[in-house]
């Protein structure tokens, strides 16, 4: 049985500003790929090849430029414009004509699941469930949609961002449905106190109407990359779990040192006097050095120039220039940013900078 995918790529990304002033948060690169590409590849690995991407108001053309028709990823991609974010359920409803009568999986484009969704998709397709949700135990359930169970462990209720959580099990941003029940439920929804059509309310209607809603507990790590701290943590986790061996496609000059698991992509150059200590990722056509230290858990994008600096536990996006005695730690630097140091070396700096920033220190 085939299954379609719906990737939600909207929202304003307010918690990630200034990084999201000029583009969607899902296109922020971590461990060498945009966040939403990790999601698309996860869908592909689960056998989902036909995907509709639901576009928001923020930079929809950038998403289309990034993924095109999907052929580079071995997928077929359709684009559906949502515009203003009226809620997850509203976004799902927009895919009604796309999915038709086929089962489908909804994947929030800013979520990362290290172990993927293949086993869950398989379980859903082999079951008679009308819906299937993923849950994970979290420290602060008040920030999420939360599940409530009866004494036999059956799912009886979902509540969005409760002040008094009924459990510590939060909804992960992956949902599976069989039409037409979910669309009938969405048609009966009224906006929540947030003014949105909530997917939790739609699933609750399925439960109330007697439809079968199954769930699974995600045991591997899951990240909702909604804040700068989340971005850095997801980058660390992906570098740890996805980059098991070193891959050197670029050039490493004599006198440069590569330590640990490092990916150096095509056209990249590591010049003399440099140390790159993994896990780390160096993007295409990026030049590092001379006399530069790239520390663990750092991802550097494409077409960057990193000269005489130290960078550690940071995400550097495309076309960034860092020069002259700078030390960055725990930082996120937006595309096309330039940071130069004139004279004395500063102590370590922590920054979150949007695109096209220029700083002279």
Residue numbers of the chain with a pLDDT score lower than 50: 12-22, 360-361
Cβ 48 vs Cβ 78: under 8 Å:
no
Write down all domains in the chain, each with its CATH number in brackets.
4-226 (3.90.550.10), 243-360 (2.160.10.10)
If you write DSSP's letter for every residue of 115-166 in order, what string do you get?
A: T-SHHHHHHHHHS--SEEEEEEE-S-GGGSEEEEE-TTS-EEEEEES-SS-S
pLDDT value at residue 360: 47
* Biggest CA pair distance of the chain: 70
Give tens-digit pLDDT for 218-263.
877 776 666 788 889 889 989 988 888 889 999 999 999 999 999 9
pLDDT value at residue 221: 72
pLDDT value at residue 345: 52
pLDDT value at residue 352: 59
Question: With helix as H, strand as E and coil as C, how does 182-206 read?
Answer: HHHHHHCCCCCCCCCCCHHHHHHHH
pLDDT value at residue 53: 96
Give tens-digit pLDDT for 98-144.
999 999 999 998 888 888 899 999 999 999 999 999 999 888 888 88
| Residue 64 to residues 75, 78, 80, 123, Cα–Cα distance (Å) | 14, 10, 11, 32
| Residue 309 to residues 44, 286, 359, Cα–Cα distance (Å) | 38, 14, 15
Rounded distance between C-alpha atoms, residue 244 and residue 336, angstroms? 30
In angstroms, what is the C-alpha Rg of the chain? 22
pLDDT value at residue 341: 74
Rounded distance between C-alpha atoms, residue 94 and residue 332, angstroms? 33
| DSSP reduced 3-state for 341 | coil
């Amino acid at each position: 049985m085939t299954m379609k995918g719906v990737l939600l790529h909207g929202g304003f990304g307010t918690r990630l500003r200034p990084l999201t002033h000029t583009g969607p948060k899902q296109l922020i690169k971590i461990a060498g790929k945009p966040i939403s590409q990790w999601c698309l590849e996860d869908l592909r690995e689960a056998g989902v090849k036909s995907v509709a991407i639901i576009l928001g108001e923020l930079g929809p053309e950038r998403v289309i430029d990034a993924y095109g028709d999907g052929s580079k990823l071995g997928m077929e991609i359709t684009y559906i414009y949502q515009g203003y974010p009226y809620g997850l359920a509203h976004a799902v409803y927009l895919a009604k004509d796309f999915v038709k009568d086929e089962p489908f999986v909804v994947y929030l484009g800013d979520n990362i699941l290290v172990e993927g969704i293949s086993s869950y998709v398989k379980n859903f397709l082999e079951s008679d469930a009308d819906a299937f949700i993923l849950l994970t135990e979290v420290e602060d359930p008040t920030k999420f949609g939360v599940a409530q169970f009866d004494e036999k462990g059956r799912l009886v209720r979902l509540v969005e961002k409760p002040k008094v959580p009924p459990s510590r099990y939060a909804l992960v941003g992956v949902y599976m449905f069989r039409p037409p029940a979910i669309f009938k439920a969405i048609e009966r929804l009224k906006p929540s106190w947030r003014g949105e059509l909530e997917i939790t309310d739609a699933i609750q209607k399925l439960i109330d109407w007697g439809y079968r809603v199954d769930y699974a507990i995600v045991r591997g790590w899951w990240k909702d990359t909604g804040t700068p701290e989340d971005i850095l943590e997801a980058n660390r986790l992906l570098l740890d779990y996805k980059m098991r061996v070193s891959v050197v496609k670029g050039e490493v000059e004599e006198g440069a040192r590569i330590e640990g698991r490092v990916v150096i992509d095509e056209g990249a150059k590591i010049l003399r006097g440099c140390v790159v200590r993994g896990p780390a990722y160096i993007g295409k056509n990026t030049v590092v050095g001379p006399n530069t230290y790239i520390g663990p858990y750092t991802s550097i994008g494409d077409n960057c120039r990193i000269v005489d600096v130290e960078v550690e536990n940071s995400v550097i996006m495309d076309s960034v220039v860092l020069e002259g005695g700078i030390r960055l730690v725990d930082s996120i630097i937006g595309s096309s940013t330039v940071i130069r140091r004139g004279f004395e070396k500063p102590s370590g700096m922590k920054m979150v900078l949007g695109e096209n920033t220029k700083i002279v220190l």
